[in-house]
Amino acid sequence: MSRSVRTLAKIKGIIKLNQGAIATSTSGSCRQASSSTNLKDVLEKIIPEKQKEVVEFRKQFGNTKVGEVTIDMMYGGMRGIRGLVTETSVLDPDEGIRFRGYSIPECQKLLPKAPGGNEPLPEGLFWLLVTGEIPSQEQVNAITKEWNDRADIPNHVITMLNNFPSSLHPMSQFSAACTVMNSESKFAKAYAEGVNKSKYWELCYEDSMDLIAKLPTVAAIIYRNLYKEGNPPDPIDKKKDWSWNYTSMLGFDNPEFVELMRLYLTIHTDHEGGNVSAHAVHLVGSALSDPYLSFAAGMNGLAGPLHGLANQEVLVWTTKLQESLGGEVTDDQLREFIWNTLKSGQVVPGYGHAVLRKTDPRYTCQREFALKHLPNDPLFKLVAQIYKVVPDILIEQGKAKNPWPNVDAHSGVLLQYYGLKEMNYYTVMFGVSRALGVLASLIWDRALGLPIERPKSFDTPQLKKIAVAAAQKK
């Protein structure tokens, strides 16, 4: 090929590339292309187009460099290494998360609501994450119906949950239940029977829909076994949405709390691909472990105090603060308590982030919910006061790269207000929501045929050799 022909081909490719980028841009306008209410049918149409797009893109730009890796990055938790493809959401350090290009306020505005409700339905966010399109009310209703129809859980899971000791952390119970529910995996069964790999995404889709449908019941049984004398939850009401049913199975009927749950279960879904839970699901799924096993792996990561468990930690820490300082607290008392936390070698839970560099919009939308519904709640006032004081202290300490609050700094106070006071349980609710993001991604992992993940590692002596060789070249 002559140089001019090659250049022309490249220019054509760039024009096409820009067109693709516009189709998923951060415009905030409403993309709504499909009219079918069957999500699988919609995917059947979208997936071949996207597969073709990725094949062409890789053919033309596969050698393009997107970043570099330093030795510090390797020792430093791979921070900043550009090494993953995740289609469902992208995190901007300053602006926060965008789900398929839509910010949280845009999702709150554009996604369908329950009758009489103001907050988006998580069913709609799932449709958006999977397809990239804002669903219609009918499409969202169809997802609700499918999840309600798939909600039954196997008896052996109920027996297992009922036999766990009450000392076992709710997250361990949740993860174990997800693991053993793989008795139901259509993916694992079909794989064992030698299914063609072109069918992987469909089986992953079926398992994901089944698993998401079953999670509220599993999570409610855990809650009721631990905190409500083991009374089993009421059966699913097939006329109601996913969040309503989950809240009701926990034992709550305040419509305002149901609205909070719709928001909560929407905003905790997805935070691009590198966070521990999302990355773990993607990694384990890459070995073709079925969606139940892959999701359980993510939940074991979410159970870590630097990740999802931070929402429990925030309340533990705030309760200690209240116990040690009493009711009304001055800013100076607060400062002293926070400095003591730092001096004792602990982190301030709910603050900081590996990628974000501003206040998390998931914090902001929960704060707005609180300002609207519980502006005079003493715990909310304390959380708001902490927000005024902590960032300056973290800046003064000079260690944390991000002194601003993340999602976990606010969720507990809202749950406490509506009477869900068992903070050990909070990460399970986070996990129920996170399923929507990580499983939407897993469907795309299989649709795009992403291979087993296996980055190269080195030991320190080898790295030293690489470093010496690089220094000698200079």
Ligand X SMILES: CC(C)(COP(=O)(O)OP(=O)(O)OC[C@H]1O[C@@H](n2cnc3c(N)ncnc32)[C@H](O)[C@@H]1OP(=O)(O)O)[C@@H](O)C(=O)NCCC(=O)NCCS
Per CB under 6 A, 74 contacts ligand X: no
Per CB under 6 A, 272 contacts ligand X: no
Per CB under 6 A, 78 contacts ligand X: no
Is-contact 257 155, C-beta < 8 A? no
Tell me, what amino acid is at 52?
Answer: K
Shortest reach from residue 331's CB to ligand X, in Å: 18
Per CB under 6 A, 349 contacts ligand X: yes
Per CB under 6 A, 158 contacts ligand X: no
Binding region for ligand X (CB under 6 A) out of 33-41, 217-225, 346-354, 425-433: 346-354
DSSP annotation of 456: -
State which residue, 175 or 311, has the beta carbon closest to ligand X: 311
Per CB under 6 A, 408 contacts ligand X: yes
CA distances from 83 to 69, 262, 275, 464 (A): 10, 32, 12, 23
Shortest reach from residue 440's CB to ligand X, in Å: 20
Catalytic residue among 279, 282, 307, 410: 307
Tokens of 332: 């100076």
Shortest reach from residue 389's CB to ligand X, in Å: 13
Shortest reach from residue 79's CB to ligand X, in Å: 6
Per CB under 6 A, 399 contacts ligand X: yes
Other Cβ atoms less than 10 A from the Cβ of 45: the count is: 12
DSSP annotation of 135: P
Cα four-point dihedral sign 334, 335, 338, 340: negative
Please give the Cα distance from 33 to 29 (Å, whole number): 12
- Residues with Cβ within 8 Å of 110's Cβ and at least 6 positions away in sequence, in order, are 30, 102, 134
Residue among 306, 371, 467, 468 that touches ligand X (CB under 6 A): 306
Shortest reach from residue 95's CB to ligand X, in Å: 16
Tokens of 316: 């533990």
Per CB under 6 A, 350 contacts ligand X: yes
Shortest reach from residue 46's CB to ligand X, in Å: 31
CA distances from 130 to 77, 127, 143, 315, 392 (A): 29, 5, 12, 33, 40
Longest dimension (CA), the chain: 79
Shortest reach from residue 342's CB to ligand X, in Å: 6
Residue among 101, 233, 352, 437 that touches ligand X (CB under 6 A): 352
Per CB under 6 A, 119 contacts ligand X: no
Binding region for ligand X (CB under 6 A) out of 15-23, 139-147, 257-265, 404-412: 404-412
Which residue is closest to ligand X by CB? 352
Per CB under 6 A, 406 contacts ligand X: yes
- Residue 353 annotated in active site: yes
Other Cβ atoms less than 10 A from the Cβ of 121: the count is: 27
Catalytic residue among 290, 360, 408, 445: 408
Residue among 140, 283, 310, 382 that touches ligand X (CB under 6 A): 310
Place of tokens 């993001």: 437
State which residue, 110 or 393, has the beta carbon closest to ligand X: 393
State which residue, 181 or 356, has the beta carbon closest to ligand X: 356
Shortest reach from residue 458's CB to ligand X, in Å: 21
Task: With CA atoms as reference, report the closest residue to 247 among 111, 161, 166, 255.
Answer: 255
- Residue 156 annotated in active site: no
Tokens of 50: 């996207």
Binding region for ligand X (CB under 6 A) out of 94-102, 127-135, 328-336, 342-350: 342-350
State which residue, 400 or 415, has the beta carbon closest to ligand X: 400
- Residues with Cβ within 8 Å of 224's Cβ and at least 6 positions away in sequence, in order, are 230, 231, 232, 233, 249, 250, 251
> What are the strands of the beta sheet with 102-103, ordered from one edge?
89-92, 96-99, 102-103
Q: What is the DSSP string of 88-121?
A: SEEEETTTEEEETTEEHHHHHHHS-B-TT--SBP
Per CB under 6 A, 401 contacts ligand X: yes
State which residue, 132 or 349, has the beta carbon closest to ligand X: 349
CA distances from 105 to 31, 111, 345, 371, 426 (A): 16, 10, 36, 16, 24
Binding region for ligand X (CB under 6 A) out of 92-100, 136-144, 239-247, 399-407: 399-407
Catalytic residue among 268, 271, 279, 353: 353
Binding region for ligand X (CB under 6 A) out of 189-197, 222-230, 326-334, 398-406: 398-406
* Enzyme catalytic residues: 307, 353, 408
Using CB under 6 A, list all residues that contact ligand X.
306, 310, 342, 347-354, 399-402, 406-408
